[in-house]
Chain A
């Protein structure tokens, strides 16, 4: 199979080479750590909100939890940036691996559901317990499954790739 040459172009760039070859803690390890911290900021509170909607901690008022959306979006941007940097380090590895696209799909769905929950559960003026349970339940379950899917796919990407770097 002939791979697109732009993968090789990215890999040959000085940024990509530095990310792969530098032993500095500020190179690849920093972005990998940032990507995991971002995961915790994004998926963590979202999972907790899903649990609350599904009936955990029933006496906890839902409305103040909306404050954590800013934190979740911060996590999203940290991961978008660190994810692009990790992609620049190993473009062939990720872009030729179908699991990478599965992961992106799960993230797109998870973030969509995160916002759906904000619009349909948080932003509803009649925030009675019954209506939250009825409307939020399926949204929360899908959200939980998408985060699990994204995390599992992300983890498997470290093992399912065909090429670590562009074949010479």
Chain B
């Protein structure tokens, strides 16, 4: 933990960190963080809900083609989030909500990995009206839960 704090102090001493505190810069980067969030959660939500049985007439293969846009949204949020972290690294590292956010983010990532290592091929072949296997449903449900947990912990950072 000490070395992480030292790293955070170093990050905050950089010129990139200084530039984050200019008026407009912080809110603009935060706005991008939220735009990425909407893109990520919107597309992932559609995919997960279909696997759980909502709008079952959607074939999963073609629906999967929308997921790269969710990944693009994730990248926007990741880059903007990293910039926000660089701007206030010292207070973030000791923030419990930030730590919980990173933990749930990690779990969400493991969940994505699990999906592509196990059921993704089977799920890809699902046509209109076909039910997803139980494991796919469990992964889809966990995905929704974990991403919304990431979102909630993220909102709590500034309040605690």
Contact = CB atoms under 8 A, between A and B. Distances in A.
Contact of A64 (B30, B39, B58): B58
A33 B42 contact: no
A45 B46 contact: yes
A158 B31 CA distance: 11
A105 to B, nearest CB: 17
Contacts of A51: 43, 66, 69
A19 B39 CA distance: 30
Contacts of A25: 156
A151 B34 contact: yes
Report which residue of B34, B57, B151 has the largest number of chain A beta carbons within 10 angstroms of its beta carbon. Answer: B34
Contact of A32 (B34, B65, B66, B159): B159
A29 B55 contact: no
A60 B66 contact: yes
Contact of A40 (B27, B45, B58, B160): B45
B46 A68 contact: yes
B23 to A, nearest CB: 8
A123 to B, nearest CB: 16
B37 interface: yes
B57 A63 contact: yes
Given A39-B38, A44-B45, A57 B65 contact: yes
Nearest to A66: B55
A155 interface: yes
Contacts of B159: 28-29, 32
A43 B38 CA distance: 6
A37 B38 contact: no
A153 B43 CA distance: 22
B155 A36 contact: yes
A58 B64 CA distance: 11
Q: Residue among A25, A32, A68, A154 with the most chain B CB within 10 A? A: A68
Contacts of B9: none
Nearest to A40: B41
A65 B43 contact: no
B152 interface: yes
B59 interface: yes
B147 to A, nearest CB: 8
A81 interface: no
B42 A61 contact: no
Interface of B: 23, 26-27, 30-31, 34-35, 37-39, 41-43, 45-46, 49, 54-59, 61-63, 65-66, 69, 128, 148, 151-152, 155-156, 159-160
11 contacts: A33-B156, A36-B151, A39-B38, A40-B151, A51-B66, A51-B69, A60-B65, A67-B54, A68-B46, A152-B31, A159-B23
